[in-house]
């Protein structure tokens, strides 16, 4: 199958880049939603209630915290709904950071809403906090569901803390994370039945219904509808499974009219292989070869239950896809020199780009980091790129350095930036593409900055597991 990598390619449909002004519009819309929520709270005597006594003031602050929390929670849902215009403009790496920031902020405001509201109600009723909490949960409409929603969101947040996330398999974390959608749904009846803004203000009801329906439509259309339509249209299946290195496997995939799938070298898709139990859990894998006719290739390292199963796939296994995603594409290249830094299986999207980009011989430099010689996947293909396309390939093999570094331990005598300039002398004027695990990418980005590469000319993708 590897002989087809550099063969004749069918012209492909690609999606246009999102316009630059879209970033300002999206940011303004998010800020505007928070201003609207605050204005609705103010219009419902929120500010006046702050001076109505300690108990009333606590209740009013609790209501504001709950409203802002709900607004951010819905913004978070839209952020991760994989709306194409948002994804193409900002990229998954930046969106994931915003998702994490809005998620934790929303959760802390939710806890503040619960605490302040209970304290305010207890003060007004002149009763104990525990007794008031029990009364709220069992007597107020929708509160039992809201309590269940809080418990689910606590579960999601706790498992999203970095220390906990590192201990979880990707499959387990992904399944637990889906409970956030259920938590949002269970919280809605409480807002409908007891929320002062819903009950008393038609304008507030219209705003909140619009926001909830927008979030729901984003999920239904982009997370469910579009992937289902593309999977049915292209009927993708496994064509061949090829071992590349210990624990590293390539999967060639074929389908119908794949030239109409708007995917480019360097992007990733979410894959579901219909090979038995566990098929519903999606896994993000990058293309390791540019789409070629009705064939495309992914390469997977054995890092968990789902990735371990890839090596056992049989030709003919049907595949569901979601995507494409990612901005590590040829659109970022300005022309001229290219330096690519890959760690381990991070070589996959960069390999696809090396085949696709129209650079001249000698303009592209690849620095491939691996722990052992056996971990260097695609040796023959990289040799072919060096011979046919003039790519300068450096294999950096050895155990990791004691300090945070993109270099192996044997290079301890060199600074990261000095080593980068030696291996790629023109790097300061190049576009630099990086792919690898979090810590390695951070060290490589620091080295490129120290070597004189502007931040805008460094493009990266991370993998978490």
- My answer on whether 337 and 221 are in the same domain is no
Q: Is the dihedral of CA 209, 230, 262, 348 positive or negative?
A: positive
Give the whole-angstrom CA distance, residue 22 versus residue 29: 10
Structure tokens at 17: 């880049």
- Terminal-to-terminal C-alpha distance of the chain: 27
Q: Are residues 361 and 457 in the same domain?
A: yes
Q: 54-79 and 84-125 helices cross at what angle (nearest 10)? A: 160
Which position has the higher pLDDT, 202 or 227? 227
* Same-domain pairing of 55 and 128: yes
- Tens of pLDDT, residue by residue over 158-173, are 777 766 666 666 666 6
Let me know whether 112 and 208 are in one domain: yes
Share of the chain above pLDDT 70, in %: 87
Q: How many domains does the chain have?
A: 3
How much is the pLDDT for 195? Answer: 67
Q: Is the pLDDT of residue 243 over 60?
A: yes
Owning domain of residue 95: 21-228
Evaluate whether residue 13 is within a structural domain: no
Q: Is residue 418 part of a domain?
A: yes
Give the Cα separation of 119 and 112 in Å (integer).
Answer: 10
Phi and psi angles of residue 42, each rounded to the nearest 5 degrees, phi first: -65, -40
- Region of 279 (left: φ > 0; alpha: ψ -120 to 50; beta: rest) is alpha
The residue ranges of DSSP E strands in 216-318, in sequence order, are 237-245, 248-254, 268-273, 283-292, 295-301
Q: Give residue 465's pLDDT.
A: 37
Alpha-carbon distance values, 386 to 167, 216, 397 (Å): 40, 49, 18
Give the integer Cα–Cα distance in Å for 133 and 114: 9
- Picking from 165, 194, 228, the residue at the C-terminal end of a domain is 228
User: Is the domain of 168 the same as that of 191?
Assistant: yes
- Position 368 scores a pLDDT of 93
Classified as helix, coil or strand, 92 is helix
The CATH code of the domain that includes 274 is 2.40.30.10
Tokens of 112: 């503040």
- Kindly report the CATH number assigned to the domain that includes residue 386: 3.40.50.80
105 and 199 share a domain? yes
Residue 7 placed within a domain: no
Coil vs helix vs strand at 340: strand
Residue 2 counted as domain residue? no
Same domain, 202 and 77: yes
Residues 341 and 392 in one domain: yes
Give Cα separations from 430 to 90, 300, 335 (angstroms).
Answer: 22, 29, 9
Q: Between 32 and 142, name the one with better pLDDT.
A: 32
In whole angstroms, what separates CA 285 from the centre of its chain? Answer: 12
């Amino acid at each position: 199958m590897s002989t087809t990598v550099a063969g004749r390619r069918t012209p492909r449909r690609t999606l246009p880049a999102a316009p630059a002004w879209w970033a300002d519009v999206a940011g303004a819309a998010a800020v505007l939603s928070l201003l609207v929520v605050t204005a609705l709270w103010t219009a419902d005597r929120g500010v006046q209630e702050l001076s109505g006594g300690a108990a009333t003031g606590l209740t009013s602050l609790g209501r504001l915290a709950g409203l802002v929390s709900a607004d951010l929670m819905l913004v978070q849902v839209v952020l991760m709904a994989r709306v194409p215009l948002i994804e193409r403009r900002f990229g998954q790496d930046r969106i994931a950071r915003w998702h994490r920031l809005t998620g934790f902020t929303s959760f802390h405001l939710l806890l503040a809403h619960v605490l302040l509201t209970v304290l305010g109600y207890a003060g007004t009723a002149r009763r104990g906090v525990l007794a008031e909490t029990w009364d709220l949960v069992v007597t107020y409409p929708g509160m039992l569901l809201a309590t269940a929603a809080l418990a689910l969101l606590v579960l999601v947040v706790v498992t999203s803390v970095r220390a906990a996330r590192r201990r979880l398999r990707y499959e387990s974390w992904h399944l637990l994370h889906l409970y956030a959608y259920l938590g949002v749904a269970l919280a809605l009846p409480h807002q409908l039945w007891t929320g002062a803004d819903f009950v008393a203000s038609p304008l507030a009801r219209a705003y909140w219904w619009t926001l909830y329906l927008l979030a729901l439509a984003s999920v239904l259309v982009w997370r469910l509808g579009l992937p289902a339509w593309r999977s049915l249209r292209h009927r993708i299946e496994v064509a061949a499974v090829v071992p590349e290195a210990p624990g590293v496997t390539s999967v060639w995939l074929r389908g119908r009219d794949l030239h109409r799938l708007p995917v480019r070298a360097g992007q990733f898709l979410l894959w579901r292989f219909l090979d038995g139990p566990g098929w519903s859990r999606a896994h993000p894998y990058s293309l390791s070869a540019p789409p070629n006719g009705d064939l495309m290739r992914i390469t997977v390292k054995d890092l968990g239950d789902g990735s371990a199963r890839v090596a056992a796939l049989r030709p003919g296994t049907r595949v569901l896809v979601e995507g494409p995603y990612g901005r590590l594409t040829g659109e970022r290249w300005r022309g001229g020199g290219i330096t690519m830094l890959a760690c381990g299986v991070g070589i996959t999207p960069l390999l696809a780009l090396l085949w696709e980009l129209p650079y001249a011989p000698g303009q592209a430099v690849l620095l491939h980091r691996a722990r052992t010689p056996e971990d260097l996947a695609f040796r023959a293909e990289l040799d072919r790129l060096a011979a046919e396309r003039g790519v300068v390939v450096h294999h950096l093999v050895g155990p990791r350095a004691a300090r945070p570094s993109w270099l192996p331990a044997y290079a301890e005598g060199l600074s990261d930036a000095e080593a980068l300039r030696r291996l790629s002398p023109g790097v300061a004027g190049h576009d630099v593409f990086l792919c690898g695990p979090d810590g390695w990418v951070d060290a490589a980005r620091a080295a490129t900055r120290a070597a004189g590469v502007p931040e805008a000319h460094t493009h990266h993708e991370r993998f978490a597991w």
